Amino acid sequence: MIALEKRPQPSQFWTFAAPIVAVILTMIFGAALFGLLGKPPIEALGKIFWEPLFGEFNFFYLPQLLIKGAPLVAIALGLSLGFKAGIWNIGAEGQYIIGALCGAGVALALYPMEARWLIFPAMLFAGAFGGFAWAMIPGVLRVKFGTNEILVSLMLVYVAEQLLASMALGLMKNPEGFGFPGSRNLSQYSSASSWIDQSNGMHWGVVIALIGVIFAYILFAKHILGFQIKLAGQAPRAAAFSGVSPARLILFCLGTSGALAGLAGLTEVAGPAGLVSIDFNVGYGFTAIIVAFLGRLHPVGILFAGALMALTYIGGDVAQSSLGLPKAAIQVFQGMLLFFLLGVDVLTNYRVRIKQGVVA
């Protein structure tokens, strides 16, 4: 009989080994999946993991890695705060949209004024504030009325999507756009563009994600607030005894994750996406949940996880176009990654014992 035995201490070894083992297992089972689909498995893995980084066209893919990775990392960092404290913000996608709308709204209202020193900071503020405010809705409802923040934040994603459609087709529609849906292109409006170096994929969202990693790292390693977040997640009663106010913690975690998602949305709309359009959001807010867990809610882990996730997106596209792999297969592949990670993760806190006989 195989039994799981709780370890007295979480295993140091498995804390670090688990993500690596999970990636390896994903590769093995992913290869099997591709093989069963009649595609060359090794080549498919090569297309996903090798081609974007070291292939012939990496000058095109590497910038993409930054573009796709930055919003994932920024949003996942924010989510990880709450997840550590047992506060589940599932609606980062909505906060991302609202952040983008608020920031874009500032830019569009001031168009065509030439004052980057004023407009871009104002957009950053508006974007952060938009995401923050949207996340405050589930936050305040939970604190005041005890509602479930998972449901409220998730539902608000769909509200935000409707709002986005309405803006793209109405208020924010480009008056010179010949009737096409979508706003003016912000990335071409020099006062509002979030690009720093478009050819290398550098934009302010990347900078924000990296600063976020550093701040989150310091927060958890050194600051009492990070300690309290961990404490509240692990032992809520001990946290209350220690003097942590649950209400303030909920508002802080939801607010911060909302603001980061809003910033990610804003830098996306003013850069890589360029304009407010109906299909502006592509699911970063949801994928970031996977990234947060893949990075075991650790800031540096999230940085790597975001890069890995972005790689599977880009590599998946490569495999789709060059090998004709179905999109669903790539999604299954990404799902496997989370599945194996959570599975292997058990070994951090438990050890497997093979026992003879049964203990009642």
Q: Is 9 in the site for other proteins (CB under 8 A)?
A: yes
Determine the Cα–Cα distance for residues 190 and 198; give it in Å rounded to an integer: 13
- Residue 20 or 238 having the CB closest to other proteins: 238
Interacting residue with other proteins among 25, 147, 230, 332 (CB under 8 A): 230
Determine the Cα–Cα distance for residues 302 and 299; give it in Å rounded to an integer: 5
**Contact by Cβ (8 Å): 97, 268:** no
H or E segment to which residue 335 belongs = helix 327-349
Q: Is 227 in the site for other proteins (CB under 8 A)?
A: yes
Q: Which residue from 258, 278, 312, 338 is spatially nearest to 98, judged by alpha carbons? A: 258
- Residue 120 or 220 having the CB closest to other proteins: 220
Determine the Cα–Cα distance for residues 35 and 19; give it in Å rounded to an integer: 24
Window of 45-53, 208-216, 234-242, 332-340 that interacts with other proteins by CB under 8 A = 234-242
- Residue 221 or 300 having the CB closest to other proteins: 221
Residue type, 77: L
Minimum separation from the CB atom of position 350 to other proteins (A) = 13
Minimum separation from the CB atom of position 360 to other proteins (A) = 5
Q: Is 170 in the site for other proteins (CB under 8 A)?
A: no
Q: Is 235 in the site for other proteins (CB under 8 A)?
A: yes
Q: Is 234 in the site for other proteins (CB under 8 A)?
A: yes
Query: What residues from 242 to 271 belong to the interface with other proteins (CB under 8 A)?
Result: 242-243, 245
- Residue 200 or 234 having the CB closest to other proteins: 234
Total number of residues binding other proteins (CB under 8 A)?
24
- Residue 354 or 360 having the CB closest to other proteins: 360
- Residue 222 or 327 having the CB closest to other proteins: 222
Q: Which two tokens stand for residue 199?
A: 């050819």
Q: Based on C-alpha coordinates, what's the Rg of the chain?
A: 22
Q: How many CB atoms lie within 10 A of CB 43?
A: 16
Query: What residues from 187 to 226 belong to the interface with other proteins (CB under 8 A)?
Result: 222-225
Q: CA distances (Å), 350 to each of 18, 81, 125, 211, 345, in order?
A: 12, 25, 45, 35, 9
Q: Is 112 in the site for other proteins (CB under 8 A)?
A: no
H or E segment to which residue 203 belongs = strand 202-203
Q: Which two tokens stand for residue 193?
A: 């563009």
Q: Which residues bind other proteins (CB under 8 A)?
A: 8-10, 222-225, 227, 230-231, 234-235, 237-243, 245, 357-360
